[in-house]
Chain A
Amino acid sequence: MQHLWSRLKQSYIFHSFIHDKVAIISSIILIILLLAGLLAPYIAPYNPYNTANIDIMDAETPPMWMEGGSAKFILGTDDQGRDMLSTMLYGMRVSLLIGLGAVMVQALLGITIGLIAGYFGGKLDNLLMRLADVQLSFSTLMVAIFMSAIFQTFFGIKQYEEMAIPFLIIVIGLAEWPQYARTVRASVLAEKKKEYVEAAKVIGFNAGKIMWKHILPNTLSPVLVISTIQVANAIMSEAALSFLGLGMPVTKPSLGSLINAGFEYIFSGSWWITIFPGILLVVLILVINLLGDWLRDVLNPKLYKG
């Protein structure tokens, strides 16, 4: 254990981390947000998902420091009377789960397919890329409709509320893998002809090992760039799906749903319903992206010399 720790301390990663102020601040903020989301049931003043707690007469209360606000609701309430702070905490947890989960599914699926298509080429490449085209034509919306049909035949409507989060992770994950696949494939096509790949083949490594251990690290750079932005897209995709009744149930809003719902009120006075969750979302995405930038710079073997 101690051996591991001292190895870590001496490694390049650790060194670069300590010396990059932006990376340190970003990771601190991210950890705070992650913990806040995780511990939401314990630290939030109310449980906004429990419909017995909300009263419509509290709706659209302004934040505490404004006229009409009350100390009961620090950041005000939304259009149903839910406490903004609590809903943001619970909502962030849902959005983070879906956003990060979906991106992991997309990335895993897309990278694998992209590697295979790029490396083996020929008919396999054509087949996989045409499948990607079919997938691209079916936007998240259509995939959601399709999957919910299958889902309902197996599980029935009632189960939906409990299974909503995994369902959404799968749907959004499935809908966007072509983006990764095509990007990775492009890089693989370029890397395939380089000498180190020839060398690895001569040594006798099998295709899988070459793909994963040798080529993949050199293709990660654009993948990381896309990933951090896809998290934002995934969070908003979930919110868009709730219009069709396919996102989170309306009584359990996510961060994205809050922003969506508050959109109508932005000029009619109750701006806080969109602005506060909006700011939270921007900070979250910013921090994920900054850390992603740092990670990419650090892990990239081509930038190693620095």
Chain B
Amino acid sequence: MKEEKMLRKLLTLGLGLIFCLGLSISAYAKTLRVAMASDPVSMDPHVQLSGGMLQYSHLVFDPLIRWTKDMKFEPRLAVKWERISPTTVRFYLRKGVKFHSGNPFTAKDVAWTMARLKKSPDFKGLFEPFAEPKIIDDYTIDIITKKPYPLLLNMATYIFPMDSKFYSGKDKNGQPKDAIVKTGPSFANSHESGTGKYYVAYREQGVKWIFKAFKNYWDKNSGNVDEIILTPIKNDATRVAALLSGDVDFIMPVPPQDYARIERNPKVQLITMPGARIITFQLNQKRRPEFANRKVRQAIVYAINNVGIVKKIMKGKATAAGQQSPEGFLGHVPELTPRYNLQKARQLMKEAGYPNGFECSMIAPNNRYVNDEKIAQAVAAMLAKIKIKVDLKTMPKAQYWDQFDARAADIQMIGWHPDTEDSANYTEFLLMCPDPKTGYGQYNSGNYCNPTVDKLILQAQTETNVKKRKAILQKVERILYNDAAFVPLHWQHLSWAASKKLKNVSDIVNKQNFPYFGDLIMD
């Protein structure tokens, strides 16, 4: 009996010690609680091309190179690169890198990943200019494009090497492990092996993700966050409340009406940064013959008070735009500033032959872009001042895009962020003559068609000399500006808010909206 009691005492003591030890260890483990509007849809980085999936990729995988805050490239899995021919860039890969599964990272994985990218419905368009890469040795690979391609490095930021051995073979349902399945279960949708700082420890879709730091991560100079708990919080006000009450440490995005409140609060910090997403309206020249008249389009551009919208609706957190390319992009022309002159607008309407205006319809989404519905309302009100009576209908994005494609209204709102982080992309999708065969002008609902612009853009696609390319793209912006081809509003700013415990938040954010949590340092 006595021994039993002794044993029990020892056991309790032992458990108590272990418990204390566990507590003290956890005191050093830094846990970051993040709330976003929605969580990643899958664990397979190739299943969907979206901001959310790319953010996930940066956590669990590493790209060959990535963008820095000031739009330069920094080495990640590629340590050096050099262009050895107009169509080839040689990448020297980092040695000693391991995947979460333990498999070593080599050039074979890069080639395998690129082949899969070309199979993915979402990425194949972006990687169309790429031919099969050539493996020189385990740590050297030549990435080859079919024609001279100026944006090779931009696209290298999308190559997140996947563990080719891990994803080879068949899963327990007999399906190939590397299958890309959008609407059903697949191995890649629920398993991952990347080289990234974090691996997925727990995932409940729509509810919670837990990422834990990978012990054998190659980058020894990364931040000190050991665990990331990601919760989606859809409602803007709730997300801000969660931050302010201390239930989470980092939120994105931040609704503009709460900027002031967050800035006033001593325990949290607001970080904003100009982004590259341009918000525009397109004027359908075919549906409404009045819009085919350049003076009418110019009148509309002059009637819209971009700066007022930025100030009042976006609370200053946007940059009024007169063109597509923001500052820092090749095609940006500093002289093309936003135009607002009500008198001139009225004058132009008279000159065009519509002194009494006309009626037209407008559609806009109400849950896609920041304050999209409010912007549309304000624009409708502004057009009323030059006697253009606008019937406005707003709707959620699930219904909007079908209506947009069906050209259901005369004026349609669309925002655009180039996947290639390059000027030409805007025009390729929004303003080139619509061509269902090539896919150019896919979202050109205005039916603006200028053969000169098309020719220049095609030229820019294979022009690798930076100076020459810059001239071409700037020329395009000037033509579009003078033609009033579309109505530019502003570039949205990106916004994040965090508790002051996070020390270097402003260093880890970037224009692409992929906060590099791996480099975060918190108290």
Question: Interface on A for B, CB 8 Å cutoff?
Answer: 50-52, 54-57, 59-60, 79-81, 157-158, 160-161, 243-245, 249-251, 263-265, 267-270
Q: Taking the nearest CB of chain B, how far is it from the CB of A78, in angstroms?
A: 10
| B261 on the A face (CB < 8 A) | yes
Enumerate chain A residues within 8 angstroms of B381, measured Cβ to Cβ.
Answer: 51-52, 54-56, 80-81, 251
| B507 on the A face (CB < 8 A) | no
Enumerate chain B residues within 8 angstroms of A160, measured Cβ to Cβ.
Answer: 393
Enumerate chain B residues within 8 angstroms of A50, measured Cβ to Cβ.
Answer: 384
Contact of B308 among A57, A157, A244, A245 (CB under 8 A): A57
Q: A244-B399, A264-B255 are in contact. List 13 more A-B contacts (CB 8 A).
A: A51-B381, A51-B383, A52-B385, A52-B387, A55-B381, A59-B312, A81-B381, A243-B366, A249-B391, A250-B393, A251-B377, A265-B257, A267-B258
Q: Taking the nearest CB of chain B, how far is it from the CB of A167, in angstroms?
A: 14
Enumerate chain A residues within 8 angstroms of B392, measured Cβ to Cβ.
Answer: 249-251
Nearest B residue to A245 by beta-carbon distance? B395
Q: Are A269 and B260 in contact (CB under 8 A)?
A: yes
Enumerate chain A residues within 8 angstroms of B506, measured Cβ to Cβ.
Answer: none
| B456 on the A face (CB < 8 A) | no
Query: What 10 pairs across the A-B complex have the smallest Cβ distances?
Result: A245-B395, A52-B384, A51-B384, A268-B257, A51-B381, A56-B378, A59-B312, A54-B381, A56-B308, A56-B312
Contact of B393 among A57, A245, A269 (CB under 8 A): A245
A169 to B311, CA, bound (A): 38
A96 to B394, CA, bound (A): 24
Enumerate chain A residues within 8 angstroms of B378, measured Cβ to Cβ.
Answer: 56, 80
| B454 on the A face (CB < 8 A) | no
A184 to B383, CA, bound (A): 52
Enumerate chain B residues within 8 angstroms of A59, measured Cβ to Cβ.
Answer: 312-313
A-B contacts, 9 listed (Cβ < 8 Å): A51-B381, A51-B384, A80-B381, A81-B312, A244-B395, A245-B396, A250-B392, A250-B393, A268-B257
| B309 on the A face (CB < 8 A) | yes
Interface residue count for B (Cβ, 8 Å)?
A: 37
A60 to B374, CA, bound (A): 13
| B390 on the A face (CB < 8 A) | yes
A274 to B313, CA, bound (A): 17
Q: Taking the nearest CB of chain B, how far is it from the CB of A7, in angstroms?
A: 52
A59 to B310, CA, bound (A): 12
Q: Which of B383-415 contact A (CB under 8 A)?
A: 383-385, 387, 389-396, 399, 408
Q: Taking the nearest CB of chain B, how far is it from the CB of A98, in angstroms?
A: 19
Q: Are B361 and A158 in contact (CB under 8 A)?
A: yes
Q: Are B237 and A263 in contact (CB under 8 A)?
A: yes
* Most A CB within 10 A of own CB, among B381, B396, B399: B381
Enumerate chain A residues within 8 angstroms of B387, measured Cβ to Cβ.
Answer: 52
Q: Are B382 and A245 in contact (CB under 8 A)?
A: no
Q: Are B393 and A264 in contact (CB under 8 A)?
A: no
| B305 on the A face (CB < 8 A) | yes
Q: Are A250 and B373 in contact (CB under 8 A)?
A: yes
A51 to B387, CA, bound (A): 10
Enumerate chain B residues within 8 angstroms of A51, measured Cβ to Cβ.
Answer: 380-381, 383-384, 389-390
Q: Taking the nearest CB of chain A, how far is it from the CB of B465, in angstroms?
A: 44
| B236 on the A face (CB < 8 A) | yes
Enumerate chain A residues within 8 angstroms of B236, measured Cβ to Cβ.
Answer: 264
Enumerate chain B residues within 8 angstroms of A269, measured Cβ to Cβ.
Answer: 260-261
A270 to B258, CA, bound (A): 11
Assuming A52-B384, A158-B391, A264-B236, is B260 touching A79 (CB within 8 A)?
A: no
Q: Are B312 and A251 in contact (CB under 8 A)?
A: no
